[in-house]
Amino acid sequence: MRRNLSRTLLGGLTALALSGAAAVAVVAPSQAQPSANASDVAVQAAATTQAAQDKVVEYWTSERMRAAVPADVLVAGKDKSSAGDKVATGKPTIVPQAKPGTGSGFVGDYYTGGGAVVTTTGKVFFTLAGVNYVCSGSAVTSGNKDVVLTAGHCLNEGPGAYATNFAFVPAYDDGARPYGTFTARQLVTTTQWAGSGDFDYDIGFAVMNTLNGQHLTDVVGSQGIGFNLARGQYMYSFGYPQANPYDGSDIAWCHGTPIQDPYGSQDQGLDCNLTGGSSGGPWFVNYNTTTGVGTLNSVNSFKYSGGQLRNYMFGPYLGSVAQTLYGTAAGL
């Protein structure tokens, strides 16, 4: 019998909602799988003019950033069970991958290392219904050099309105913005999330505007991304947790071998103490602890509020729908 446990989002409110190519073996699925198509993609225009971009940058003062609420509260209490068929899967695909890292499970702490992950990971700020929220995100390799991966609930209520004042601050460090504040021109999520709040598809991509004439990933670098990869691979999760015992000032991490969600979603979960504010933060497979480079393969999505798995962070599987979503964002 499925247990009825409430989920908390790690983005920020009361609930926790919180990139050289490699050859990949293709294994034929044992049974027919649902497929992805353009109808799985929802796109919303954001700050498309210079005046709108300037307005967003001016809006996000240091005071507003510090006061932003973790977006996990936006998904608190929502049903986490799958709303439809299995997550669509297809041919395993990787857009550049680094050599794998190693290590035993680690439930979390502030990240004191270096490497690309420090510059490619950042804080996401946005407004919904007059409230300012904070999430996390990661710069991802793309043809337009402007894409940030985050959680769907960090740009759309799921279902409901889209975020306004969407901004990404890479390498945020205790209030410092070493690479400036990037504004979004387009917000892209799944119709499954925007239409029904299906946590199996709590995935979002923000397409950023240039800043001082420079594209995001030309400034901070990028991480590769993989789709339709094997489940159960060792994962590294990063984000900017803001709820106790963290304060949102710096990047934190955890890592381990994920489990399958036993309570109804098709997500995977990591034993991880990252809290609200880390929503949308990147999960990596094949992460290199020396270079800080890996292959993006999920994001921080939610935690259950009670039970034996209350310390587990869950993230959506990046299947064919996520791949279609990424392709759309990379082409905008």
pLDDT tens for 273-316 read 999 999 999 999 999 999 999 999 999 999 999 889 999 999 99
Residues 6+ apart with CB under 8 A from 157: 74, 128, 197
Q: What is the mean pLDDT of the chain?
A: 88
- Residue 329: closest CA among 95, 173, 172, 27: 95
284 occurs within a structural domain? yes
| pLDDT tens digits, one per residue of 115-136 | 999 999 999 999 999 999 999 9
From CA 282, how far away is CA 133, in angstroms rounded? Answer: 18
Q: Residue 39's pLDDT is what?
A: 82
- Beta bridge mates, 319: none
Domain count, the chain: 1
Q: What is the 3-state secondary structure (H, E, C) of the chain?
A: CCCCCCEEECCCCCCCCCCCCCCCCCCCCCCCCCCCCHHHEEEEECCCCHHHHHHHHHHCCHHHHHHCEEHHHHCCCCCCCCCCCCCCCCCCEEECCCCCCCCCCEEEEECCCCCHHHHHEEEEEEEECCEEEEEEEEEECCCCCCEEEECHHHCECCCCCECEEEEEEECCECCECCCCCEEEEEEEEEHHHHHHCCHHHCCEEEEECCECCECHHHHHCCEEEEECCCCCCCEEEEECCCCCCCCCCCCEEEEECCEECCCCCCCEEEECCCCCCCCCCEEEEEEECCCCEEEEEEECCEEECCCCCCCEEEECCCCHHHHHHHHHHHCC
| CATH number for position 175 | 2.40.10.120
Domain enclosing residue 162, as ranges: 7-18+37-330
From CA 88, how far away is CA 95, in angstroms rounded? Answer: 19
DSSP β-ladder status, 69-70 and 131-139: parallel
For residues 246-268, give the mean pLDDT: 96
Report whether 286 contacts 195 (CB < 8 A).
Answer: no
23 occurs within a structural domain? no
Query: Which residue, chain included where needed, has tokens 């800043």?
Result: 211
Q: How is residue 33 written in tokens?
A: 């799988």
Q: Residue 138's pLDDT is what?
A: 99
| pLDDT tens digits, one per residue of 138-191 | 999 999 999 999 999 999 999 999 999 999 999 999 999 999 999 999 999 999
What single-letter amino acid sits at 271? D
253 occurs within a structural domain? yes
Q: Residue 28's pLDDT is what?
A: 30
Q: Residue 23's pLDDT is what?
A: 28
Question: CA of 178: how far to CAs of 170, 174, 242, 277, in Å?
Answer: 8, 11, 20, 20
119 occurs within a structural domain? yes
31 occurs within a structural domain? no
Q: Residue 162's pLDDT is what?
A: 98
Comparing 35 with 326, which gets the higher pLDDT?
Answer: 326
Length of the chain: 332
Q: What is the CA radius of gyration of the chain?
A: 17
| pLDDT tens digits, one per residue of 80-103 | 666 666 666 677 777 753 333 344
- CA 261, chain centre distance (Å): 18
From CA 45, how far away is CA 188, in angstroms rounded? Answer: 9
108 occurs within a structural domain? yes
Report whether 47 contacts 209 (CB < 8 A).
Answer: yes
Q: Is the pLDDT of residue 31 over 70?
A: no
222 occurs within a structural domain? yes
Q: Residue 88's pLDDT is what?
A: 65
Q: Is the pLDDT of residue 319 over 50?
A: yes
Question: CA of 125: how far to CAs of 54, 98, 135, 271, 323, in Å?
Answer: 15, 29, 6, 26, 24
- Residue 316: closest CA among 264, 265, 259: 265
Q: Residue 306's pLDDT is what?
A: 86
| pLDDT tens digits, one per residue of 193-251 | 999 999 999 999 999 999 999 999 999 999 999 999 999 999 999 999 999 999 999 99
308 occurs within a structural domain? yes
